[in-house]
Amino acid sequence: MNAPLSEARSVVVERELPHPPQKIWRALTQPELMEEWLMKSDFVAAIDHRFSFRADWGHVDCQVLKLEPHRTLSYSWGDSRLESIVTWTLRPTATGTHLMLEQTGFRHDQPRYFQGATEGWPRFLGRLETLLDGMD
């Protein structure tokens, strides 16, 4: 039985990026770009689309839950033991975009998943920033 959401933990990572939301959106939604900073995937920007992220260690099953181009992208992220939700929020600023990533749904008996997300997402966002700096 899943713990109530109030008992679940979240990982939040925020960045101020000197790029417009449209450019960041491309990196968040185009599989060939996603592969450069995150993982290989068969992502399609369509509500309810089921896809996976694949890496040497295995895969993560996902489903698109919310999609507001250039503003919000949310998808489930899990395996046989983890049921979480990843949400990207893009807010235009005077100098670019405020990007927030939130992954919710880590139960307290899942320290390995929580630790992995806590350490992994900042690295992935660093790779995203490098990719964005090199994109047109």
Question: Mean pLDDT across the stretch 91-118?
Answer: 96
How much is the pLDDT for 136?
A: 85
- Stretch 15-43: mean pLDDT, rounded? 98
Mean pLDDT (whole number) for 13-34: 98
Decide if 121 contacts 109 (C-beta within 8 A).
Answer: no
For the chain, domains (ranges, CATH) are 12-128 (3.30.530.20)
Residue 85 has pLDDT above 50, yes or no: yes
Report the mean per-residue pLDDT for the chain.
Answer: 94
Given a cut of 50, whether residue 1 has pLDDT beyond it is no
Arithmetic mean of pLDDT, 62-81: 97
Beta strand extents in 9-116 (DSSP E only): 9-17, 40-41, 50-55, 58-68, 72-78, 83-93, 96-106
Which amino acid makes up residue 8? A
Burial level of 4, CB count in 10 A (0-12/13-18/19+)? exposed
8 A C-beta contact, residue 86 and residue 103: yes
Round to whole Å and give the CA distance between 65 and 47: 6
- The answer, yes or no, to whether residue 2 has pLDDT greater than 80, is no
